[in-house]
Amino acid sequence: MSTIAFLNIPMHGHVNPTLPVVAELVRRGHTVTYHISAPFSAEIEATGATVCLYPEADRPLADPPMPITMLDGLARTTVGLLPRVLAELRDIRPDLIVHDSACMWAAVAARELGVPAVSLFTTFAYSRHAPSPTRLSWRLLAEAAAHPRNARDFLRWRRRLRRRYDTSGLPRFDFPNVREPLNLVFTSRDFQPGAGTLGESFQFVGPSLGSRPPDPSFPAGRLRAPVLYASLGTVFNVGPQLLRNLVIALAPLGGTVVLATGGTDPAALDPLPDNVIARRFVPQTEVLERAALFVTHGGMNSVNEAMYAGVPMLVIPQGADQPLVARRVVQLGAGLAISPRDAGPGLVHALARRLLDEPRFMAAADRLQVAQREAGGYVRAADELERHLRRSGRPAPADSPRER
């Protein structure tokens, strides 16, 4: 039996894909610890893993800041968390450390302890085809010049980190792009830009979608075809006006329009047409299974789930990796994209009608659906982790599927 330690940053987009993988590893007989902040405890404990909490004072930034402030926050958090993380890992004595690609403290801990490590990419694997936002570039230098305090703090924390700990083989600047001998990417090879230029250390396991508890409060019986689903995420505050624009644009086209309002109170959108269901949160995979169109912010998890369901998309990217994801959706013919400032009711209505009426979008979505499902998902990810354990000379459970 092996012990596997997962370490992550406290953001739903980074944590959610790992949950089915953790549950599968526990099912196979591994002991799993998961190092994270308190708000994620319940959902991680439900997988069977043991939760180890970060000190709240040192929790990483939970919002997607600008690249220079992201670097500052990650460097500061790494230095702050490492003493506690190292002490816990020395007690746990893991056979493998699995960490998010932005979880620099986990990568440093693996080197300090001499433990094999695997990196997880919940967005694209970064390369010249999918550039990291924090790579050393003229844009980053200009941003650093505009925010000198963050730049100075990043360099100070980075210097302290390199002076105190083993940072061999880790990025000097591009902290969210930590690579290991094995890197699991939670999308299909077909969706990854420039997948052929990445080496064998990158394995594209597809979306990690486990079974989710049903939401009995959601009125699934009200859904009438065609179902149009819109969700612009919970991280960026889109405000009620953009959501109203979506309602005006989509209501005439849909049998039922489902709108996830996130941080906006649905009551702020009243009155709504009779065929619109507006809720802060909806069971997304359940709705996508019945949807003819998905209007999305372009977060990688949401786009992966839409591709897995074979649903064409209208992408309205707001920040972070979303513009790059939107471009890829358009390149592969599975959808269209517009900026939030252009997302008025008229244009959204016209583009949504095209996506519903032109067969080429559904054909492209069908092709991507096949690629997503063939990638293997959380079962493939667990297989790759066990294979890496064996290559590293670490134990695996006797009843592991790969050991039979």
What local confidence, expressed as pLDDT, does residue 139 receive? Answer: 86
The one-letter amino acid code at 193 reads P
pLDDT tier, 131 (very low <50, low <70, confident <90, very high otherwise): confident
Q: Is the pLDDT of residue 321 over 90?
A: no
**pLDDT tens, residue by residue, 345-404:** 999 999 999 999 999 999 999 999 999 999 999 999 999 999 999 998 765 544 444 333
C-alpha count within 13 angstroms, C-beta hemisphere, residue 17: 29
Domain ranges of the chain: 3-206+376-403, 220-373
CATH architecture of 3-206+376-403: 3-Layer(aba) Sandwich (3.40)
Q: How far, in Å, CA of 42 to CA of 158, rounded?
A: 33
Cα 27 from Cα 86, distance rounded (Å): 27
Percent of the chain with pLDDT over 90: 75
DSSP state of 23: H
Give 290's DSSP letter: T
- Report the distance separating Cα 181 and Cα 213, nearest Å: 35
Percentage, residues of the chain above pLDDT 70: 93
CATH architecture of 220-373: 3-Layer(aba) Sandwich (3.40)
The distance of Cα 372 from the centroid of its chain, to the nearest Å, equals 15
- Residue 106's Cβ-count burial label (10 Å; 0-12, 13-18, 19+) is buried
Mean of the per-residue pLDDT values of the chain: 91
Residue type, 51: V
Instruction: Say if 3-206+376-403 and 220-373 have the same CATH topology.
Output: yes
Residue for token pair 């987009």: 13
pLDDT at residue number 234: 62
Residue 1 reports pLDDT greater than 90: no
> 270 Cβ partners below 8 Å, 6+ apart?
none
Look up tokens 């941080």; give the residue.
Answer: 263
Taken in order 50, 53, 54, 59, is the CA torsion positive or negative? positive
3-class DSSP state of 34: strand
At residue 263, the pLDDT reads 83
Bridging pattern class, strands 227-231 and 256-260? parallel
Q: Which residues contact 145 (CB under 8 A, 6 or more apart)?
A: 151
Distance CA 191, CA 298 (A): 13
Per-residue pLDDT tens for 25-73?
A: 999 999 999 999 999 999 999 999 999 999 875 555 544 468 888 889 8
Cβ atoms of residues 361 and 333 within 8 Å: yes
3-state secondary structure of 49: coil
Q: How far apart are CA 355 and CA 297, in angstroms?
A: 16
Question: Could you tell me which of 381, 390, 386 has the C-alpha nearest to residue 401?
Answer: 386
Question: What gap in Å lies between CA 146 and CA 137, rounded to an integer?
Answer: 14
8 Å CB contact between 74 and 155:
no
